[in-house]
A and B are shown apart, each in its own frame.
Chain A
Amino acid sequence: MLDLQVVSVDTLSDKYVLIKLTYGHPLPSMVPGQFVEVLIDNGAQTFLRRPISINNVDIEKNQLWLLVAMVGDGTRHLARLKAGDSLNCVLPLGNGFTFPDTVMQAAERRFLLVGGGVGVAPLLYFGKELHDMGCVPSFLLGARTAKDLLLVREFMRYGNVYLTTEDGSGGEKGFVTDHSILKSERFDQISTCGPLPMMKAVARYAAKVNTYCEASLENMMACGLGACLCCVEKTKMGNVCVCKEGPVFDVNKLLWL
């Protein structure tokens, strides 16, 4: 549990903010796919912590980025933070995405990272780490409209970016699973995060083309520590905690397909 300091809060659109945080000591090591539990304000409506993915870690600047969609009181409160404010976080929590074991594997393995809406958040850090290992990941990012496509420029630094929007205002029109890249290219691993229907569609696509697929789930959480059993997902092994056993799961272990 650390009191991090807000460096900046950038408004990306009327719905999204990017919060950059730092700490007086080196941040603990974190892997892509892990999340933090942030304390909002102990207010009557927002007294439980909110789980937020690790969007990026900038080791040189000792910064942690959180990409936040304003959906309710808690996230709107986060969007109102100012430089210099402190934010109490329990971190890092959960398990990350599957990484190549060796640099050699990384260079050969074709990764497709599929994100929808604010679900793109953990994929940036994952893509950056893959890039740093010598891999060129492909990012397939979807949103309702062009202005909800988030951090596209950041993603472009680390791999190939393919975009879709539901209204056709950016990239190809349609859902991520409609994108032409899925017809023209094959991948060795697909990692996805976003709305449940999108992730399920991605999982069906992966099953069809026989590709390993993992998804990062966003079940409602109370403790984030594996203590309360509130965040469970039904799996082939019974009900398991998303916060402790996940949030990233091999989709074949879930009961989606």
Chain B
Amino acid sequence: MARLNVNIQNLELKNPVMTASGTFGYGLEFADFIHLEDLGGIIVKGTTLHPREGNDYPRMVETASGMLNCVGLQNKGVDYFCKHIYPEIKSIDTNMIVNVSGSTLEDYAECAARINELDKIPAIELNISCPNVRQGGMAFGVTCEGAASVVKAVRAKYNKTLIVKLSPNVTNIADIACAVEAEGADSVSLINTLMGMAIDIEKRKPILSIGTGGLSGPAVKPVALRMVWQVAKAVKIPVVGLGGICTAQDAIEFLMAGATAIEIGTANFLDPAVTIKVRDGINDWLDRHGCQSVQEIIGAIS
């Protein structure tokens, strides 16, 4: 057994495998398939200050080795989360991390402040990169100034581990990463979905209700991996890598590209127990290669 534990600044993870926001519900949906406490962390659904109904159906379509979604951050709002969901998940013995979204700086900061009060939520992942909401969301994540301004506003109200999730829909993702690092982000995670589209040629109209959606799954992996590698070289803070990870080999590629931890999203839909298989696969690989600790392979290519 190699040592699998890693740290994202003060946050200790039992192993580098976490789940990606929006693909794993609140974790409980997967309790029949895995022991949730075996994960390094669970990043729950995107949460906003006010309730959101999300976009109209259809919200998803399968594309070659991937899928597009335009869920649009449907959630019942942070107060509902604190009152009704937090009590149900706070005893799960792993890092329960809330993904926070907003459309104004004030909303982001206020939402983060409410979650700061919750003892058993040691970190948030700030989503400045959602492609599926009209205002805010990704708009902040596509410029250095926008990204820096959200992180600054949230940092002032939030004193636990702050992970900032970056949009791949930018010209230079490393610049954005540096901008959020400078404002005190503890870590960056990437990538969120890549903006995409699919058309129903019989109806001559887009399949998704809002026309476009975010691409995820194995189709995005090479792009995500390249971006993680670029960002890991550019920043000093730990990087969390995701995008298309389905197997231990995929995960190890991200670790070698410089990610300290990884998240698994779309692959949970194919195999609800994939996360644990990836964790075990990383361990087997380390054992086979005589590594004492997963730390030995983080950034091992650079």
Contacts and interface: CB of A to CB of B under 8 A. Distances in A.
Interface of A: 1, 39, 42, 44-49, 90, 219-234, 238-239, 244
B217 A227 contact: no
Interface residues of B, number: 32
A164 B146 CA distance: 61
Contact of A219 (B25, B29, B57, B65): B57
A62 to B, nearest CB: 21
Interface string B24-55: 11000110010000000000010000000110
A44 B57 contact: no
Contact of A232 (B57, B61, B67): B57
A93 to B, nearest CB: 11
A48 B59 contact: no
Given A1-B33, A225-B30, A226-B29, A239 B269 contact: no
Interface in B262-283: 266, 268-273
B56 A234 contact: yes
B62 A48 contact: yes
Contacts of B45: 229
Nearest to A224: B269
Given A45-B64, A47-B65, A228 B23 contact: yes
Contacts of B67: 48, 222
Contacts of B23: 223, 227-228
Given A1-B33, A239-B74, A228 B269 contact: yes
A221 B53 CA distance: 18
A91 to B, nearest CB: 11
B222 interface: no
Most buried by A among B24, B29, B61: B29
A233 B266 CA distance: 21
A229 B25 CA distance: 9
Most buried by B among A44, A227, A232, A238: A227
Interface in B222-277: 266, 268-273
Contacts of B60: 220-222, 228, 230-231
A233 B62 contact: no
Contacts of A229: 22, 45, 54, 59, 71, 74
Interface in B51-91: 53-54, 56-62, 64-65, 67, 69, 71, 74
A184 to B, nearest CB: 37
